[in-house]
Structure 1
Amino acid sequence: MRTAIRWCLTTFLVIALSVAGSATVSAHAVLVSSDPIENASLPTNPEQVSATFNEQMQPAFAAMTVIGPDGSQWSDGQVLVQGSTLSVGVRPQGPAGTYTVNYRATSADGHVVSGSWSYLVTEAPATPAAPPSGAPATDEPVTTAPAAPAAPAEGIPVWPFILGASLIVVAGALWAVRRRL
């Protein structure tokens, strides 16, 4: 009887420790910094925007867009992934107002990370730029809905399910041992 209880407790302890140690392994990429920083106030549009994460990012399927106050896309060119940093160019001569940078990328562990941040351009260009293709060409103001906050990039944690299954196995083993006696 004592051997069976020791075996069950040892099994439970091994499973519990393996679940506790997996918390750091299941961590996902997190945005560490952005350029320009969130809610920055700039006189003109930057030449590019970038997002830096706490781990390497995969170049496949990376996306980054800059949406201007007119509702048009102001990002220019392909997204560049260099290690843990994503970046994309921004077209010059954008109108004054709030710009929103949206990103979506895959981290080294295969988890998709997405989100957004905004910055403000305070001065209108001396000569306004032509609207990007697909944008309205009128002088009427364009109203856009405010950007929705990015959903957390985390899913349901696995450890409660592993712990529950472990408890069921241990309880079944104890029941079987007691039934034999």
Structure 2
Amino acid sequence: MRRALLALTFTVAAMLCMAAPASAHNVLISTDPGKNASLDTGPAKVTLTFDAPVQGGDINQISVLGPGNTQWAEGTVDISSNVISAPVRPLGPAGTYTVGYRILSADGHAVSGEYTFTLTKAGNGTPATANAATGASQQSSSAATGVPLWVWIAGAVILLGIGLSLALRMGRKVE
């Protein structure tokens, strides 16, 4: 009985340790243009770098909202492993621009956020149409399209269950 309790304790501890990475969502680690940056001219594209690969899918979006809540990002989101980017129209009025994003994290959960940068000199661009917010992402050919994380976790749980079953059977005394 003592051996079974010890095996059960180790199995539960192993399952908890292995399940921890599943709750970790992608974290934004760098941006171009930078957070709170002041620019004389608008960027041609917005690039966001995360700590883990971004999964492909229609959920991946980048928007650039300028003064008057006008949309400046236009086109599809490009994904290359942990870096996503979207083209930006030539910017117009000087002021604060908000970059918003929504991605499909490596663990399968949606992650969203935003940051701002400031355009110090007005440009001569015109905003995109209302329905031009970037979406319909395209997975880069160099990006890995591996097996979802939940499959690995399920496999680990099954293997641990088999191991526990074998340990309990081998630990029994033959009478």
Tell me the TM-score normalized by structure 2: 0.66
Any gaps of 5 or more consecutive residues in structure 2?
A: 131-175
For residues 27 and 53 of structure 1, the distance between their equivalents in structure 2, rounded to whole angstroms, comes to 12
Total equivalences in the alignment = 129
Aligned 1:11-160 pairs, distance under 5 A: 11-61=8-58, 62-125=60-123, 128-133=124-129
For residues 3 and 82 of structure 2, the distance between their equivalents in structure 1, rounded to whole angstroms, comes to 47
State the Cα deviation string for residues 90-146 of structure 1 (Å, max 9, x = none).
Answer: 111421111111111112332212111111111112xx4445445xxxxxxxxxxxx
For residues 58 and 86 of structure 1, the distance between their equivalents in structure 2, rounded to whole angstroms, comes to 10
Distance 1:131 1:112, change over 3 A: closer
Q: Secondary structure at the match of 1:59?
A: coil
State the Cα deviation string for residues 23-75 of structure 1 (Å, max 9, x = none).
Answer: 23442211111111110111121111111111221221111110002210011
Distance 1:25 1:109, change over 3 A: closer
Q: Secondary structure at the match of 2:107?
A: coil
Query: Rg: which structure is higher?
Result: 1
RMSD across aligned C-alpha pairs, in angstroms? 1.8
Any gaps of 5 or more consecutive residues in structure 1?
A: 135-181
Distance 1:17 1:93, change over 3 A: closer
For residues 65 and 37 of structure 1, the distance between their equivalents in structure 2, rounded to whole angstroms, comes to 15
Contact kept in structure 1, 2:24 and 2:107, CA below 8 Å: no
What percentage of aligned pairs have identical amino acids?
A: 42
Equivalent position amino acid for 2:15 in 1? S
Equivalent position amino acid for 2:30 in 1? S
Contact kept in structure 1, 2:91 and 2:127, CA below 8 Å: no
Aligned to 2:145: none
> Comparing 14-23 with 42-51, which one deviates more in the overlay?
14-23
Contact kept in structure 1, 2:71 and 2:129, CA below 8 Å: no
Q: Secondary structure at the match of 2:56?
A: strand
Distance 1:64 1:24, change over 3 A: same
